[in-house]
């Protein structure tokens, strides 16, 4: 009999700290697999801001709220250790939406489970340059924000997992990139490692004022946060600019929706296109994105820094670090 | 020596009433035309909500504010009575941005001046089914909101000049149309004359609640007003819906920008595309739109009701009627 350890959602959290008030580390004896199910011995958990909304009781988000008493859902990387689906044989390296647990049990079609390349040097790249954050960056920058060579791309939460990849995708597509992040360490990372042309520290600088110095305005904006940063960018967009709304992290910890941008009128005045997108809608196109991402990774033009925490018992610490922006790069937990 | 009567902007208005506090009816002796200028004996003035912003001191609108002491700018229809541009001969019926005046003096290239069809039975249709409001409706519904046959199109200010045409364009393109307007007379107009499938009176009905009954949600929204109406529509949009921001009339009378929609988050949650557009950007494509508009008009499938006021001295009354939504259809002044 194998024991599984997992995090259970007991109460709806308020804010982005002290998650131990709301989730409990539990254990249970693993039940036999149901028909078609697969079990993964989890090596790494991905910490994603989007999962914060699953903890909320709001019913108007991406997906229905997670019922209280459920195992918390999250993206897992690991090896199949038990299987009742022949497409996922024992030992295969896989990635999909499982649980915050040392053993994740799932139905492949519901979990977006897929077998990933077992030959790359650092398997963590399946949460990095080859992962969902990279697809998000690629789709958002290339298709939604539709940046063209020579244009200016702005990226918020630019030192985070998705933002850092969005900066690099923009640069690789020939855009000039301005990254917006909090603190001098992150801004140094943007300029020295990610090749940004400009970095703005929103904690100490006047974002709107600095963006106003961008000649011709911002043509494309990849936004992860909404709120005051979006307000600072909108009046600095070039006419006919495109805004890709990837996330509204500034509002995920609220029980009520965050108010809309104070400068919404600029969408009309500057004839902007603002579009929300959700990467699971694009999962079927992963095979189309991967060759480009893989090539950039192999050429050293798409890198991810990992903010790695050790041990399932420290998941909440890692999650809080990520939600409060203490991480640089991709926040993961190694089990 | 001919005397010209015109309205002069003396102060920046507050609100949408009592414009006589801010504009003055003046007269002057007409000066000789400058090189390349054209003078029009104005038959009709078009009353357009978008011109309200020209009266404001705000510098972040479509165009720079009109300097105090200037003649108020507006769209005119009339005949060339003096000309120093051979492309616009005396006697030609023309339309363009002139002044609120009995004689409008302008430079054709700056005023979007064009010669219009002198053979149609009712020349007012150059401000109606063949006018700028019709182009706006056509571009907004067909290209920006990109409505497809069988989809649901919502239109705000649906009994107004642009809205009433947007409803008909939607219907002509095979969409089901829900019009939102204020008061029972307007709603009757939407259902009985414009062929809307549903009409919502925002003054007496719960807009959000009624929209929630639309099966499958709203696929395309042509918005003229912003504010609370937009807030009611966003949570009722279908996934991947398109919102064409044609106007934000609810905010034009404010000295500061109107706050953004409270339900901005739905842009992300429902993966919406929200796009501002400005019809003067499309003026060069008028020749492309006209055959379709003309055909619909001739077939009786695109009609305009006119809210006509007589006399230059009553322009402010007509303007206020239009801005406060007392008109049904297109507000014009006959000189």
> What pLDDT, on a 0 to 100 scale, did the predictor assign at position B174?
98
The pLDDT tens digits for A315-324 are 999 999 999 9
Residue B279 has pLDDT above 70, yes or no: yes
Give the span between the Cα atoms of B81 and B88, in whole angstroms. 10
User: Is the pLDDT reported for residue B90 higher than 70?
Assistant: yes
Determine contact, residues A145/A153, Cβ cutoff 8 Å. Answer: yes
Reply yes or no on whether the pLDDT at A288 is more than 90: no
pLDDT of residue B328 exceeding 80: yes
* Residue A255 reports pLDDT greater than 70: no
d(CA A176, CA A27) in angstroms, rounded, equals: 50
Q: Is the pLDDT of residue A252 over 70?
A: no
Mark out the alpha helices in A161-285 (DSSP H runs): 161-172, 184-192, 207-211, 227-233, 265-269
Give the model's confidence band at A256: pLDDT under 50 very low, under 70 low, under 90 confident, else very high: low
Q: In chain A, whose CA is at the least distance from the CA of B58?
A: A269
What is the distance between the alpha carbons of residues A178 and A227, in angstroms, rounded to a whole number? 18
Q: Tell how strand B218-223 and strand B152-156 pair up.
A: parallel
Query: Which chain B residues touch A258 with a CB distance below 8 Å?
Result: 264-265
Mean pLDDT score, A9-37: 95
Please indicate whether, in this complex, the C-beta atoms of A62 and B269 are within 8 angstroms of each other.
yes
* % of chain A at pLDDT higher than 90: 81
Chain A residue with the nearest C-alpha to that of B280: A271
- Judge: B226–A269 Cβ closer than 8 Å, yes or no: no
Chain A partners within 8 Å of B251 (Cβ):
265
Inter-chain residue contact B259 with A258, CB threshold 8 Å: no
Contact A260 B257 (CB under 8 A): no
Is the dihedral angle over the CA atoms B49, B54, B55, B57 positive or is it negative? Answer: positive
Shortest CB distance from B276 goes to which of A268, A275, A277?
A: A268
Distance separating alpha carbons of residues A219 and B165, to the nearest angstrom: 32
- Would you list which residues of chain B are within 8 Å, Cβ to Cβ, of chain A? 60-62, 226, 235, 245-248, 251, 257-278, 281
Q: Please answer yes or no on whether A274 and B277 come within 8 Å at the CB atom.
A: no
Interface test with A, best of B146, B156, B247, B260 (most A CBs within 10 A): B260
Residue A49's pLDDT is 87
Q: Strand, coil or helix: what is B319?
A: helix
Comparing A46-60, A99-113, A315-329, B33-47, the range with the smallest average pLDDT is A46-60
Q: Per residue in A179-188, pLDDT tens? A: 999 999 999 9
CB A192 within 8 A of CB A168: no
For position A287, what pLDDT does the model report?
A: 80
Cβ-Cβ contacts under 8 Å, B245 against chain A: 267-268
Contact flag A275-B278 (C-beta cutoff 8 Å):
no
Residue with tokens 């009354």: B317
Which sign, positive or negative, has the C-alpha torsion B312, B314, B315, B318?
negative
HEC per residue, B235-252: HHEEEEEEEEECCCHHHC
pLDDT of residue B35 exceeding 80, the answer is yes
CA distance A241 to chain B (A): 10
All residues at 6 or more sequence positions from A261 whose CB lies less than 8 Å from its CB, including other chains: A226, A227, A230, A231, A234, B260, B264
Which tens digits make up the pLDDT trace of B283-292? 778 788 889 9
Rounded distance between C-alpha atoms, residue A62 and residue A46, angstroms: 18
Task: Summarize the confidence of residues B162-175 as an average pLDDT.
Answer: 98
Task: Give the Cβ contact number of residue B283 at 10 Å.
Answer: 12
Predicted pLDDT of residue B296: 97
Taking only the tens place, the pLDDT of each residue in B176-210 is 999 999 999 999 999 999 999 999 999 999 999 99
Yes or no, beta carbons of B235 and A60 under 8 Å apart: yes
Residue A251 has what pLDDT?
67
Q: How would you class A62 by CB atoms within 10 Å of its CB: exposed for 0-12, middle for 13-18, buried for 19 or more?
A: middle
Shortest distance between the Cα of A272 and any Cα of chain B, in A, equals: 5
User: Residue B56: its pLDDT value, please?
Assistant: 87
| pLDDT confidence tier of residue B256, bands split at 50, 70 and 90 | low
Which of B270, B274, B281 lies at the smallest CB-CB distance from A267?
Answer: B274
Contact A61 B248 (CB under 8 A): no
Task: Report the pLDDT value the prediction gives residue B289, as an integer from 0 to 100.
Answer: 86
Q: Does residue A8 register a pLDDT over 90? A: yes
Tell me if B309 sits within 8 A of B327, measured CB to CB.
no
ipTM of this complex prediction, to 2 decimal places: 0.88
Q: Do B269 and A276 touch (CB under 8 A)?
A: yes
Mean pLDDT of A1-10: 94
CB contact under 8 A, B265 and A251: yes
| Average pLDDT value for chain B | 93
**Nearest in space to B116 (alpha carbons), one of B101, B134, B140, B99:** B134
Taking residues A196-201, what's their average pLDDT?
98
Residues A37-49: what's their mean pLDDT?
A: 96
Kindly list the structural domains of chain A, giving each domain's residue range(s) and its CATH number in brackets, ordered by start.
3-127+304-334 (3.90.180.10), 132-280 (3.40.50.720)
User: For B132-157, what is each residue's pLDDT tens digit?
Assistant: 999 999 999 999 999 999 999 999 99
Per-residue pLDDT reduced to its tens digit, A142-176: 999 999 999 999 999 999 999 999 999 999 999 99
- Euclidean distance between CA atoms B132 and B137, whole angstroms: 9
Find the closest chain B residue to A249 by CA distance.
Answer: B265
Is pLDDT larger for residue B333 or for residue A53?
B333
- Those residues with Cβ within 8 angstroms of residue A22's Cβ, 6 or more apart along the chain or in another chain: A9, A10, A11, A12, A13, A55
- Contact criterion met (CB < 8 Å) for A245 and B268: yes
Cβ-defined contact of A60 to B265 (cutoff 8 Å)? yes
B275:A267 CB<8 A? yes
Which residues on chain A are in Cβ contact (under 8 Å) with B253?
Answer: none
pLDDT of residue B254: 62
Q: What's the gap in Å between the CA of B62 and the closest CA on chain A?
A: 5
Residue A59's nearest CA partner among B271, B274, B269 is B269
Report whether pLDDT(B252) > 70: no
Classify the phi-psi angles of A240: left when phi > 0, otherwise alpha if psi is within -120 to 50, otherwise beta.
left
Instruction: Sort out which chain B residues have CB atoms less than 8 A from A235's CB and list them.
Output: 60
Closest Cα of chain B to A45: distance in Å?
24
What is the DSSP code string of A293-312? HHHHHHTTSS---EEEEESG
Residue B77: partners with Cβ closer than 8 Å, 6 or more residues away:
B42, B43, B44, B45, B46, B93, B94, B95, B116, B123, B124, B126, B127
């Amino acid at each position: 009999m194998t024991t599984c350890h997992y995090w259970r959602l007991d109460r709806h959290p308020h804010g982005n700290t002290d998650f131990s008030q709301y989730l409990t580390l539990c254990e249970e004896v693993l039940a036999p697999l149901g028909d078609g199910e697969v079990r993964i011995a989890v090596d790494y958990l991905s910490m994603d801001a989007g999962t914060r909304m699953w903890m909320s009781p709001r019913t108007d988000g991406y997906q229905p709220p997670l019922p209280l008493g459920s195992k918390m859902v999250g993206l897992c990387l690991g090896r199949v250790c038990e299987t009742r689906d022949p497409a996922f044989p024992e030992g295969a390296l896989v990635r999909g939406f499982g649980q915050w647990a040392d053993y994740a049990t799932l139905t492949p079609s519901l979990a977006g489970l897929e077998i990933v390349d077992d030959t790359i040097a650092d398997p963590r790249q399946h949460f990095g340059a080859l992962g969902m954050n990279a697809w998000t960056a690629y789709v958002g920058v290339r298709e939604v924000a539709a940046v063209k060579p020579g244009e200016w791309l702005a990226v918020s939460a630019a030192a985070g997992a998705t933002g850092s990849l969005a900066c690099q995708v923009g640069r690789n597509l020939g855009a000039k990139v301005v990254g917006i992040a909090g603190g001098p360490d992150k801004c140094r990372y943007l300029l020295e490692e990610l090749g940004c042309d400009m970095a703005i520290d929103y904690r100490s600088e006047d974002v709107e004022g600095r963006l106003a110095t961008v000649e011709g305005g911002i043509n494309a904006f990849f936004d992860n946060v909404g709120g005051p940063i979006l307000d600072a960018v909108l009046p600095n967009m070039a006419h006919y600019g495109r805004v890709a709304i990837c996330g509204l992290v500034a509002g995920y910890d609220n029980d009520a929706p965050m108010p809309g941008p104070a400068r919404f009128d600029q969408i009309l005045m500057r004839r902007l296109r603002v579009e929300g997108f959700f990467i699971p809608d694009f999962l079927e196109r992963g095979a189309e994105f991967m060759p480009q991402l893989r090539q950039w990774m192999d050429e050293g033009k798409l890198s991810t820094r990992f903010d790695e925490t050790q041990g399932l018992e420290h998941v909440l610490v890692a999650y809080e670090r990520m939600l409060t922006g203490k991480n640089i790069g991709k926040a993961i937990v190694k089990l």
